[in-house]
Amino acid sequence: MSVTFKKITPEESWKVYDGAARRLLRISGEEFSRRWDAGEYKHSAETTVMQVAMLRPDGVQLAR
Amino acid sequence: MASNSRDKAVKGFSTTIQRALSCFATGKVFGDTYDLGVIGRLSLNGAKKVQLRGPGRLRISLSILYEVLQVGDPLRPEFDVSTRGYMHHLYSSAGDELIGYHWHPIDNSHATWPHLHVTGGKNHYPSGRILVEDVLQLAMEYGATPTDPKAWRRVSKANRERFASEATWHSYVPSD
Sites in chain A below the pLDDT cut of 70? 59-61, 63-64
| Residues of A engaging B, defined by a Cβ cutoff of 8 Å | 1-10, 12-13, 15-16, 19-20, 23, 36, 39, 41-45, 47, 50-51, 53-55, 57, 60-64
C-alpha angle with apex B19: B64 to B157, nearest 5 degrees?
Answer: 95
Question: Is residue A55 within 8 Å of residue A25, measured between CB atoms?
Answer: no
pTM: 0.92
Would you say residue B171 lies in a domain?
Answer: no
pLDDT, residue B173, reads 65
* B175: pLDDT strictly greater than 90: no
d(CA B93, nearest CA chain A) in Å:
18
Is the CB of B28 less than 8 angstroms away from the CB of A5? Answer: yes
| Closest chain A residue to B25, measured at CA | A1
d(CA B25, nearest CA chain A) in Å:
6
Would you say residue B82 lies in a domain?
Answer: yes
**Distance between CA atoms of residues B62 and A63, nearest Å:** 21
Domain hosting B150: range is: 6-166
- The kind and range of the H/E element at B67 are strand B59-70
pLDDT, residue A3, reads 96
pLDDT tens for each residue of B2-17: 788 999 999 999 999 9
* B171: pLDDT strictly greater than 80: no
Q: Percent of chain B scored above 70 by pLDDT?
A: 94
Q: Give which of B19, B45, B86, B106 to mutate to test A binding, by max A Cβ within 10 Å.
A: B106
C-alpha distances (whole Å) from B152 to each of B24, B31, B38, B148 are 9, 24, 33, 6
Mean pLDDT across B125-130: 91
If one counts the domains in chain B, the total is: 1
pLDDT, residue B92, reads 95
**Distance between CA atoms of residues B79 and B11, nearest Å:** 12
Would you say residue B141 lies in a domain?
Answer: yes
Mean pLDDT across B40-46: 96
Q: Give the Cβ contact number of residue B76 at 10 Å.
A: 11
Complex ipTM value: 0.92
Would you say residue B31 lies in a domain?
Answer: yes
Tell me what the pLDDT averaged over chain B comes to. Answer: 91
pLDDT tens for each residue of B58-97: 999 999 999 999 988 888 888 999 999 999 999 999 999 9
Residues contacting residue A34 through CB under 8 Å, at least 6 positions apart: none
| Closest chain A residue to B46, measured at CA | A16
Would you say residue B126 lies in a domain?
Answer: yes
Would you say residue B57 lies in a domain?
Answer: yes
pLDDT, residue B135, reads 97
* B33: pLDDT strictly greater than 90: yes
Q: Domain locations in chain A?
A: 10-53
Band of pLDDT at residue B172, cut at 50, 70 and 90: low
Mean pLDDT across B51-55: 96
Strand residues in A1-56 grouped as ranges (E)? 3-7
Whole-angstrom distance between the N-terminal and C-terminal Cα of chain B? 30
